[in-house]
Amino acid sequence: MRTLANEQQFRRISCKTTDNYAVSGYRQSAKAVIQLAGMHPNLAAGFHHVSKARQGSFITWKQANKLVTSTKFFGKLASDTDKEGCPCCKKNDVADSFGHFIFDCDNKDLKEIRKKTGIKEFAAQLAKEVSRQQTGSSSSKNTNNIRTRHNNNNILHVQDVRVTRSATTYNADTLAKLLLGGRASLQNTGSTAATPTSPETSVFDLQNWQQVQGNKDHTKLQETIDKILKVEVADDKRREKKKTKKTKKKKKIQMEQPLFEASTVILAQYLQAGMIVRTKVLWDLSASSQRSNAGQS
């Protein structure tokens, strides 16, 4: 929670980083992140790292190499991987980035965490839905016209131009940005040549999202959301039997922002476990501990 409070203070000071923070879309979802952090105390460490990444404070291997050259920095690197590479993969020809760390890193432990959380599959589903709903209209108009656009999964009206989309293309960094709550413009193949570029959209823009009956993609996405948030969805018969049973009332944000909650929670789950692995790979903790003890002496 202290880090989240620092994030608010950080945004009050205008600089290039905070300007990027504003235009990237993170500002609009800042309060929601703080609220969700309080609702998921078991993921406190994960939300700590989510907040740092939203601030632009995720240290890549290239930045870590630069940090250790400073006389004011007391850390020591734990890998001899080339500064242009990835120490988690131990590959010199693969650039380290937040997206790479979340989705593509070949580290054995990270692959296991990725498989356990299902974060890669969910991010792909999320990107497909964000791309489908990208239009030239405002968020409010987008919400009002949501049912009309659900009638055909492959047809959108972008700035009043009819567009047919067959597939969505994205990379690891784009997926990571979506999970953090940032705006992204996903490229689509199959669009008409005269179609204007779709505006950048974030998961937070997809307010009041609900699955559409008969839409298989929506059904799968809803199932994934329920799995992430551990929400039991009963069928009609079970619902009738349990009418008298008290159920936990959902918070307003859970009803209005199910996609955003699920995306933030699954990212926090991954980071809570993954950053432990990454820290051991990046930094020589024994050396840091010795220097700390020496300073106290």
The two structure tokens encoding residue 99: 């997206």
What residue has token string 């790979």? 281
pLDDT at 150: 38
The two structure tokens encoding residue 267: 């990212």
Please tell me whether residue 169 adopts helix, strand or coil conformation.
strand
The two structure tokens encoding residue 45: 């460490």
Dist CA 280 CA 274 (whole Å): 10
pLDDT at 93: 95
pLDDT at 144: 42
pLDDT at 198: 63
What amino acid is encoded at 125 in this protein? Q
Dist CA 126 CA 92 (whole Å): 31
Dist CA 32 CA 83 (whole Å): 36
The DSSP H or E segment spanning 168 is strand 167-169
pLDDT at 72: 83
Whether 185 and 205 have beta carbons less than 8 Å apart is answered as: no
Whether 106 and 123 have beta carbons less than 8 Å apart is answered as: no
Query: Within its chain, how far is the Cα of 198 from the centroid?
Result: 20
Dist CA 66 CA 282 (whole Å): 13
Beta bridge partners of 189: 167
The two structure tokens encoding residue 97: 């980035």
What amino acid is encoded at 128 in this protein? K
pLDDT at 127: 93
Tell me the residue length of the chain.
Answer: 297
Q: Could you state, in chain order, the average pLDDT of each consecutive group of 10 residues for the chain (297 residues)?
A: 64 66 84 94 96 91 94 90 96 96 98 98 94 57 40 38 52 95 76 56 92 90 94 48 58 93 97 97 76 52
